[in-house]
Each structure stands twice: as structure tokens, then as C-alpha cells.
Chain A
Amino acid sequence: DAGITQSPRHKVTETGTPVTLRCHQTENHRYMYWYRQDPGHGLRLIHYSYGVKDTDKGEVSDGYSVSRSKTEDFLLTLESATSSQTSVYFCAISEDRGLGYTFGSGTRLTVV
């Protein structure tokens, strides 16, 4: 399997608290992405990175921030969690632009 891991796998948090999800890869891939999966919406891009310290917003970036201080780690932070951010979050990596992704196993986040 491709070396991509997400942590934690499950988390329950309270409304208004900050939450950080971690994506770690051992493939040395340049591109990393955060998606959320919701019923009826499929997978929607939150943020992505095209290199260390190079990040940009996706289609549903409000309420989220990211950081990539080294190639292997891409962190997603919910600055103040809301119930609408209850979702399954997937990290993905890609070796080259135009190729498909390898996904992590996901983080199920519940905001109560």
C-alpha cells in the first residue's frame, strides 16, 4: 500500500473548539489534498498543496486552514468547529499533476 496515513481515524469534538487532522505520507509526493465526503455531495476539495509552504483553497475552504511545513505532512485545522463540519475527511497524494490520487483511509469527525 502507498504510504499515506491519517490521524486520528475517529474524533468527537465540541462546537467551537479547534481541531487539527493530520495527513502523513512516506512517498515524497509533491501534491497533497484534503477532501470531505458528505451524502449527496460526493467528495469536495477543501484545500490543496503543491509544495512545502505552497497551499491554496478548494471549493469548500471556509472555516478551514492548512499548513505544510515539510513534504510529508499536511495538516488540516478547523479553527472553530461547527456541526456542519461533521463529515468524513480524506487526504490524498499525487506524484504528478494530471495523475490520479492515492487516498488515505479517512478521518470521521463528529462535532456535537
Chain B
Amino acid sequence: DQQVKQNSPSLSVQEGRISILNCDYTNSMFDYFLWYKKYPAEGPTFLISISSIKDKNEDGRFTVFLNKSAKHLSLHIVPSQPGDSAVYFCAASSNAGGTSYGKLTFGQGTILTVHP
């Protein structure tokens, strides 16, 4: 049972335009959400996160939106650059009860290609 889903395996965008990557989750106990970026032959690197007490978090060109009622989050990249081409993973965790040990549940990933 996939608790975190990224339903778009790939996304292609022109340089300078907006990239929107989507993620849905089913576990209502998730209270912290993250996005990771992964280049080939490297480990994933942290991009941006959001707590469930917020609905938006912004860091430069990257903004994450959280819609708790829809159990949906999205990552906006504006403007997109060719160097943003990578695999993007969303992840979620639950700290309820203090027994999660920080475990993250990841989505399947979306391959973003930004064309010059």
C-alpha cells in the first residue's frame, strides 16, 4: 500500500517556465513533508520541507504548498532552469506518539526535464 504517491513519472518544461510537481498521501498521521532532488549516480539531497501547521513554505525559486484536507502537496519551481533537471522525490513522516524514529516514506519520484 503506497502511502505517498507521485502519479506523474515524468514532467517536461521549458526553461524559464514554472514546474509543478505533485504528491498525494493517504496517511492522515503524516505531519512533516519534504522534497528531495536526485541527480544520476548521486544520493538524494534535501530541497525544501513543510510542517503540517503551515500551508506554504518558500525558499528562493522553490515553493511547497500543502493542502491537508486533500492530502496533497506540490512543489513549484519558478523559473525553471536546465540545472533543475533531476528526479524529485516527495517524502512524509509522522512524529505522533514519538515512536516514528524519523522514518521517511517516499513517493516513486518524478523525472523533471527542463529544456533550454
Contacts and interface: CB of A to CB of B under 8 A. Distances in A.
Interface of A: 31, 33, 35, 40-45, 48, 50, 56, 58, 90, 92, 94, 96-106
Contacts of A106: 41-43
B45 A103 contact: yes
Nearest to A91: B43
Interface string B82-97: 0000000101010100
B46 A102 contact: yes
B44 A103 contact: yes
Nearest to B35: A100
A35 B89 CA distance: 13
B63 to A, nearest CB: 17
B95 A97 contact: yes
Given A50-B101, A97-B98, 16 more contacts: A31-B102, A42-B4, A42-B107, A42-B109, A43-B44, A43-B106, A45-B104, A56-B101, A58-B103, A96-B102, A98-B32, A98-B93, A99-B102, A103-B44, A105-B42, A105-B43
Q: Which one of B36, B43, B93, B103 has the greatest number of beta carbons of chain A within 10 Å?
A: B43
Interface string B1-39: 000101000000000000000000000000010101000
Contacts of B32: 98
Contacts of A102: 46
The 8 closest A-B pairs by CB, nearest first: A103-B43, A43-B106, A97-B102, A42-B108, A42-B106, A100-B46, A50-B101, A98-B95
A63 B41 CA distance: 25
Contacts of B108: 40-42
Nearest to A96: B102
Q: Which one of A96, A97, A100, A103 has the greatest number of beta carbons of chain B within 10 Å?
A: A100
B101 A90 contact: no
A80 to B, nearest CB: 26
Contacts of B45: 103
A35 B59 CA distance: 27
Given A42-B106, A98-B95, A31 B43 contact: no
Contact of A90 (B6, B44, B93): B44
Contacts of A56: 101
